[in-house]
Amino acid sequence: MTRRTIGISGSNARPRQLGTATGGSLRHIRALKLASVLVLAWLLQLGASSLIAQGPRGAEKARLTVSADKTAYEPGEEASLAAVVDIEKGWHTNSNQPTFDYLIPTKIEVALPTGWSEASIDYPRGEMKTFAFADQPISVYDDEVTMIATIAIPDSQTEGAVTAEVKLTYQACDDRSCLPPVTTARTIDLVIGSGGQPSNQDISQLREAKASPSTSRRSPISLPLILVLGVVGGLILNAMPCVLPVLSLKIFGLVKSASKGRSQVVVGSLATALGILISFWALALAAILARSAGAAVGWGVQFQEPTFVVALALIVVLFCLNLWGVFEIVLPMRLAQFADSGPREGIPGHLASGLFATLMSTPCSAPFLGTAISFALGQPASTIFAVFTAIAFGMALPYLVLAAAPRAAQLLPKPGPWMDKLRVFMGFLLAAAAIWLLYVLAAQITRERLAFIELAILAMAMFVWMRHSASARGWASKLALVGIAVTIVLAVTLAAGADVTMTSPSAKEHPAGLIDWLTFDRQEAERLASEGHLVFVDVTADWCFTCKVNERLVLETPEVAEAFDRHGVIAMKADWTTRSDTIAQYLADHGRYGIPFYLLYRPGREPHLFSELLTQEAVVSVIEQAAR
């Protein structure tokens, strides 16, 4: 089979020299970018798998029994069903009207024959109780509770037995954690005819003594508003530091596309937007599957998995080597011709840039993004997909605008020798991203294992250079190809075999700074707040770039530190670099599923939840108001 040598970047036929790309090498570029799509898609699947693997599936902790108030009913009469829920000792469920909107309510649904009116449900009032995972009492059911369903029997109903199915949906929690939601069902036959006798005298008494009319829970934030926030948050995400290295690569590609005609700008922009949409849909699906498996879900939590971090680091290093002109690969002629079928930059390349941008964006948060993500992850699957689609649309909006107005690409500078220097400079940006990924990895595995992984990555880079410099017919080239494969497998295997245990918030010491941070302890924080102290909680992680920016530019500054000292604020820090169900539950209890997360306990008042992006003025102002 005829084979062709190709590369990712626009290098010419002699990759060791920087210059204008020839038509042949551009065809090579497209083929390798097709391979990049496949590799990045595998990374998305890897992140999803790491989420789904966490947490066991839930078990039923409540038993449902259903009984009717009479033995038979005349047409036109009302029937009452008592749904008795017996909750296992040590467990509870949220009431039908939970204290917080993100909690899953206990509810009853009655499936009736076609033509029957919907049953009305009367729920008992919940009891306000305090648990270790909540900083204030919440409305719950425990022990045994009874819900009454009232059914209007149609006047035209003929005599005979009619089957009604009663479905109970609830989420069981103990004092530490919650299981995934469960739906269980029971059926009961209602006899339509004369001669009915009372069979459950307690139903009427229960309705009067315990039941209150069911009311619909309305979220204080509507879904349309959340979708708008998602679009704005996704748009701002393009300007976050995590995305800048990828964005610079995209600008480089657009400059080359602009010189080839409007159609290539349109197709390339749409392909990039599609890559962003596909990757966000993959993240939404991963979140849904992880939540159904009982795992903690959140924005950026895939960076808690060393295997994901190492795989992404390998991809970044390979892109970096290519930009420096030393990376190329041999693909069969047919595959190269397929990649050649798109525009000059190649549709696979544009898709890859969209996927890559999404992967690199997840350690960052942006204004409005946290609100949208937190709302979505507590809602049904359809809402999760809608919100993630809105975020993807916002992030892809610049490319969609460019596709709608391709003449705007003419504002970009013309291709020329300056692009060679820009390509090398962008390689250094990606090298910085690789260093950051290894910094994240250092907090997750032992120093010895990290050193071997770094050596494997270095060896991979050396073999890539050997493959490029050796003759394609020589044994050294084949040896280098084997070396590349072996070092990649070795690095990923070392990461997969790392003994990463779930950490507690106290698993990491905090470096000395202007603020004297204590290790986060939820019960201690709530106790101190009850005694009249102000307590500031910072949930951070080494992989959270926004967290580090906030710490450096806002928290660890003389102005904020002085406000902490003046008002006696007790500062606590929780580290979420590696998986911690305790921290995940704490975030979920406050309606958040990602970080940065900042909260100030205020004695006698509700805790204050800060925005993801802090300012010195906002922190100092809230502290001074709380201290009055």
**pLDDT of amino acid 454:** 87
The more confidently predicted of residues 572 and 258 is 572
Of 71-80, 138-147, 212-221, 391-400, the one with minimum mean pLDDT is 212-221
pLDDT(49) > 90: no
Orientation of helix 381-404 relative to helix 223-237, angle to 10°: 50
Find, among 64, 293, 52, 297, the residue nearest to 180 by Cα. 293
Confidence of residue 1 (pLDDT cuts 50, 70, 90): very low
Which tops the pLDDT comparison, 298 or 308? Answer: 308
583 closest CA partner among 196, 139, 276, 133? 133
Q: Dig out the tokens for 91 from the structure.
A: 């467990």
Q: Mean pLDDT across the stretch 39-47?
A: 57
Q: Is the pLDDT of residue 9 over 60?
A: no
pLDDT of residue 210: 44
pLDDT score of 423:
72
User: What would the mean pLDDT of 457-486 be, rounded to a whole number?
Assistant: 77
Per-residue pLDDT for 6 more than 60? no
Phi–psi pair at 422, nearest 5 degrees: -65, -40
- Total residue length of the chain: 628
The pLDDT, as a whole number, for residue 598 is 93
**The tokens 């699947």 sit on which residue?**
45
DSSP symbol at 601: E
CATH, domain range 70-199: 2.60.40.10
Of 38-42, 67-71, 510-514, minimum mean pLDDT range: 38-42
Under the banding of pLDDT at 50, 70 and 90, the label for residue 326 is confident
Distances from the Cα of 500 to the Cαs of 54, 205, 435, 540, 578, in angstroms?
Answer: 13, 56, 21, 18, 8
pLDDT tens sequence across 55-75: 444 468 898 988 888 888 988
Helix (H, G, I), strand (E, B) or coil at 106: coil
Phi, psi of 446 (to 5 degrees): -70, 160
DSSP states of 185-241 as a string?
Answer: EEEEEEEESS---B--THHHHHHHHTEEE------SS-HHHHHHHHHHHHHHHTTST
pLDDT value of position 409: 62
Per-residue pLDDT, averaged over 104-115, amounts to 89
Q: N- to C-terminal Cα distance for the chain?
A: 80
Query: Are 353 and 275 contacting, i.e. CB atoms less than 8 angstroms apart?
Result: yes
Q: Which of 293-297, 419-423, 435-439, 454-458 has the lowest mean pLDDT?
A: 293-297
For tokens 């991809």, the residue is: 315
Confidence category of residue 352, pLDDT binned at 50, 70, 90: confident
Q: Specify the higher pLDDT residue, 473 or 282.
A: 282
pLDDT at position 135, please?
58
Q: Given a cut of 80, is residue 562 above it in pLDDT?
A: yes
Mean pLDDT in residue range 31-56: 52
Kindly give the residue spans of alpha helices, DSSP state H, lying in 87-201: none
Q: Residue 226 burial by CB count (10 A; 0-12/13-18/19+): exposed, middle or buried?
A: buried
Query: One-letter amino acid identity for 320?
Result: C
397-437 tens-digit pLDDT: 888 888 887 776 666 666 667 666 777 777 787 788 788 78
Q: What is the pLDDT of residue 5?
A: 39
Instruction: Name the helix (H) or strand (E) containing 147.
Output: strand 144-152
| Average pLDDT for the chain | 75
Sheet holding 127-129, edge to edge: 127-129, 138-141, 92-94, 172-173
Residue carrying the six token digits 């479905």: 167
Distance between CA atoms of residues 384 and 284, nearest Å: 6
Of 121-125, 479-483, 495-499, 522-526, give the lowest mean pLDDT range.
495-499
Six-digit token string for 210: 């315990």
How far is residue 1's CA from residue 442's CA, in Å, rounded to a whole number?
44
Contact 94, 103 (CB under 8 A): yes
Gyration radius (Cα) of the chain, Å:
30
Domains 70-199 and 517-627 share a fold: no
Better pLDDT: 423 or 117: 117
List all residues 6 or more positions away from 159 whose beta carbon is below 8 Å from its beta carbon: 192, 193
The superfamily in CATH containing domain 517-627 is: Glutaredoxin (3.40.30.10)
Q: Could you tell me the strand order of the sheet in which 608-609 lies?
A: 517-519, 570-575, 535-540, 597-601, 608-609
pLDDT tier for residue 538 given thresholds of 50, 70 and 90? very high
Farthest-apart Cα atoms in the chain, separation: 98
Written as one letter, the residue type at 459 is A
* Nearest CA among 162, 146, 165 for reference residue 62: 146
Residue 163 has pLDDT above 80, yes or no: yes
Q: Quick check: 78 and 152 in contact, CB under 8 A?
A: yes
Q: Which of 208-212, 226-230, 324-328, 443-447 has the lowest mean pLDDT?
A: 208-212
Distance from chain centroid for Cα 219: 21
pLDDT band, very low/low/confident/very high, at 260 (cuts 50, 70, 90): low
Do 141 and 124 meet the contact criterion of CB atoms below 8 Å apart?
Answer: yes
Alpha-carbon gap, residue 34 to 57, rounded angstroms? 37
> Does the pLDDT of residue 18 top 50, yes or no?
no
448 CB burial (10 A radius; 0-12, 13-18, 19+): exposed
Share of the chain above pLDDT 70, in %: 68
Q: Where are the domains of the chain?
A: 3-54+242-442, 70-199, 445-499, 517-627
Residue pointed to by tokens 């309305």: 218
Supply angle C-alpha 435, 436, 441, rounded to 5: 95
Amino acid 265: pLDDT = 74
- Average pLDDT over every residue of 302-317: 79
